Amino acid sequence: MAVGIFDSGLGGLTVLEAVRRRLPEVAFAYYGDNAHAPYGVREADDVFHLTCRGVERLWREGCDLVILACNTASAAALRRMQESWVPPDKRVLGVFVPLIEALTERKWGDNSPPREVAVKHVALFATPATVASRAFQRELAFRAIGVDVEAQACGGVVDAIEEGDMILAEALVRSHVEALKRKMPHPQAAVLGCTHYPLLEHVFQEALGPEVRVFSQADLVAESLADYLERHPQMRGAGGEPVFLTTGEAARVSDQATRFLQRKVTFRPA
């Protein structure tokens, strides 16, 4: 049994790298729905059905636990999946939980009433679909009060990263940060709400300034998964080399992933 990592494209590879470093003894299978990427501009129903299809494929690969390393899927599909679709012997988790835990400094199992937290002004950078869902604000409101969240839809960034055009991606990041700061001139913290964005964390940090704390997901998800597997050891599989699956053209996706991670990665058709 392996742990599944689902993403609409290549961004989830940043999460896979972090969880493999943190949990080298665990086996992983990665599914990239490259044929339908990006999800960030799709309708919620479309994201739901595509995500369910990918998660089912990872179940067939032996992954009873699947992490949605796609913020759009976590925002637009996860709650619906957990409430009406996931069978009792399977688990599907998202990437918002570790972010909320870090931002509010309280564990997910802490069901006490919402309370004030140190950070009052938060910038959220995410895909248009994640911003439209308001899922981050909804989950945050369950645990914290008095937090002002200003969201910036970062159109074009994911496409530029997937195509390997990092010059364009960096220019777009700077433009989106400028747009955010026109709405919220002095954020205390910034949330990178897309698993592609850790590749450009230094650009976000530079554009925001050193006084802004940037929350990036990969390492937070890795720590959260380690904690989850400690509490649910039956979901932990034996280690080994990860399996890479794609709905796209395997050779092309392999080349993109190799460039993305700067090491050889070989995908096979899902």
**How is domain 97-216 classified at the CATH fold level?**
Rossmann fold (3.40.50)
pLDDT in tens, 104-152: 887 756 777 888 999 999 999 999 999 999 999 998 998 899 999 999 9
SS3 category, 192: strand
Q: What is the pLDDT of residue 109?
A: 63
Which tokens sit at 166?
Answer: 């990092």
CATH 3.40.50.1860 range(s) for the chain read 3-95+218-269, 97-216
pLDDT in tens, 160-177: 988 889 999 999 999 999
46, 29, 38: which is closest to 80 by C-alpha?
46
Look up tokens 């069901």; give the residue. 111
User: Concatenated DSSP letters for 206-269?
Assistant: HHH-TTSEEE-HHHHHHHHHHHHHHH-GGGPPPP-PPEEEESS-HHHHHHHHHHHHTS----EE
Q: What is the pLDDT of residue 77?
A: 95
SS3 category, 157: helix
Say if domain 3-95+218-269 classifies as CATH 3.40.50.300. Answer: no
In DSSP terms, which residues pair with 125 in a beta bridge?
Answer: 152, 192
Provide the pLDDT confidence category of residue 234 given band limits of 50, 70 and 90: confident
- Using left for φ > 0, alpha for ψ between -120 and 50, and beta otherwise, residue 51 falls in alpha
Q: Residues 184, 152: contact at Cβ < 8 Å?
A: no
Q: Which residues contact 99 (CB under 8 A, 6 or more apart)?
A: 136, 191, 193, 215, 217, 220
Q: What is the pLDDT of residue 67?
A: 97
Active site residues: 70, 194
Q: Is the pLDDT of residue 237 over 80?
A: no
Q: Is the pLDDT of residue 20 over 90?
A: yes
